[in-house]
Amino acid sequence: MPGPSRLYIIGAFFLGVVLTGAWSNRPSKQKIRKRQLERLAQLDSNGDIKEGIEGCIGKTPLIKIKSLSEATGCEILAKAEFLNGAGNSPKDRVALSIIETAEEQGLLTPHSGDTIYEGTVGSTGISLAAICRARGYKAHICMPDDMAVEKSDLLLKLGAEVERVRPAPIVDQKQFVNLARTRAAEHTADLSKSGRGLFADQFETEANWRAHFTGTGPEIYDQTSGCLDAFVSGAGTGGTISGVALFLKQRLPHVQVVLADPPGSGLYNRVKFGVMFDSKEREGTRRRQQVDTIVEGIGINRQTRNFEVGRELIDDAIRVNDDQAKAMARWLVKHDGIFVGSSSAVNCVAATKLAKSLGPGHRIVTLLCDSGVRHLSKFWANTESIEDIESDLDLDEVLNP
């Protein structure tokens, strides 16, 4: 055999030996899978892997709002509730709490047609609709037709059934909360429909304030190491302010709890004077809107169980008008790159006013509830360009536009 051919044969022989060895030593499929699972478990123990979208609810960051802190000499901290992962607002906590409570009570069966009905200005509906998808339920949302259209569009994309109804007082059976309660009962009574209807009842259910008592409150306490002087929040159902107040006050009795309230809401007077009243609601002056403001999600003119459960722990109330809220929203974008919706802006105005009255050196915690993206067509519509705002705009001009 000629020399080069012999060399090829010897080379091929050794290559065969090496490949056979590598093949027989290759990790089996089970070994690979085991290693993958070990790696996943390791990541999971670091908290890097969440159990479904529900796992992305809570433990939101506490952000120092640098511009407001520098301008007031107080530390103004905001819980970034818009980073809750399902419906992107504090209502994720409430929706999950309502669903899990109903599941524990055996009231819901996945993929049976069971449907959750809720009356909401939007945020709770969005959270319910997302979590219902994840858990195998349907969602039917009744909401006032004057809320930003982004919210009902999003609900439809999440596959919820949406009924937009004319704003009406609570005594009207067509009012959005009453309608949701009726629709749930109709569903259960209708034997041609699969599953049953469950009314979420965010204004009255204990599951609402408890979500903040066991989640938002303890998180604020831990993130500040119990070192804070005041908590500021608006109230829609009242679940947030009551749940957080009930938790914080039992550990830190000196903490001031302050309500931020928009125009037309009766809560300001309920806190200050014990009566639910707003001058805009005076006989003969009543406007078409229940709460006369561009702000969505906070302010109400009736007593709810969720507000009343913590009311006596609320030390003070601060009124915030629409112009102040709009000016604050633009201030936050201009100085901090924070783009939020109307209730968050109201919270920040109230927190800043409180900082000015307390004086430098205090620490105040508030909430950033949802993103401005949900408010483009209403609260953020027709606002002047951020670049057009005077660069030396003073915070006093934001508080008194």
Residues 60, 127, 175, 240: which binds ligand PLP (CB under 6 A)? 240
Q: How many CB atoms lie within 10 A of CB 302?
A: 14
Count of residues in contact with ligand PLP, rule CB under 6 A: 18
Q: Which residues contact 97 (CB under 8 A, 6 or more apart)?
A: 207, 208, 210, 211
Q: Report which DSSP code applies to 256.
A: E
Stretch in the footprint of ligand PLP (CB under 6 A) among 163-171, 184-192, 229-237, 392-400: 229-237
Q: In angstroms, what CA-CA distances link 100 with 82, 131, 210, 243?
A: 21, 10, 12, 18
Between residue 75 and residue 94, which ones bind ligand PLP under the rule CB under 6 A?
A: 89, 91
Q: Is 18 exposed, middle or buried (0-12, 13-18, 19+ CB in 10 A)?
A: exposed
Residue 239 engages ligand PLP in binding (rule: CB under 6 A): yes
- Judged by CB under 6 A, the stretch of 19-27, 235-243, 251-259, 386-394 that binds ligand PLP is 235-243
Rounded Cα–Cα distance for residues 190 and 204 (Å): 25
Question: Is 151 assigned a catalytic role?
Answer: no
Tell the smallest beta-carbon distance from residue 194 to ligand PLP (Å).
30
- Dist CA 48 CA 57 (whole Å): 14
Question: Among 213, 219, 211, 209, which Cα is nearest to 79's?
Answer: 219
Nearest-angstrom CA–CA distance, 143 and 61: 30
Q: Which of the residues 31, 64, 79, 91 is marked catalytic?
A: 91
Bridge partners of 143, per DSSP, are 164
Interface characters, 104-123, with ligand PLP (x: CB under 6 A): -----------------x-x
**By CB under 6 A, which span of 230-238, 311-319, 323-331, 358-366 interacts with ligand PLP?**
230-238
Q: How near is the Cβ of 41 to ligand PLP at its closest, in Å?
A: 36
Cα atoms found within 13 Å of the Cα of residue 96, Cβ hemisphere only:
22
Please report how close the Cβ of residue 201 comes to ligand PLP at its closest, in angstroms.
12
Give whichever of 139 and 389 is closer to ligand PLP, judged by the CB atom. 139
Closest approach, Cβ 305 to ligand PLP, in A, equals 12
Q: Could you say which of 60, 88, 237, 256 contacts ligand PLP (CB under 6 A)?
A: 237
**Nearest residue to ligand PLP, scored by beta-carbon proximity:** 297
- Site map 337..376 versus ligand PLP, x via CB under 6 A: ----x-x-------------------------xx------
Contact 255, 231 (CB under 8 A): yes
Contact status: 125 vs ligand PLP (CB under 6 A): no
Regarding 301 and contact with ligand PLP (CB under 6 A), the answer is: no
- Is 143 one of the binding residues for ligand PLP (CB under 6 A)? no
Owner of token pair 């433990």: 59
Between CA 343 and CA 291 the distance in angstroms is 13
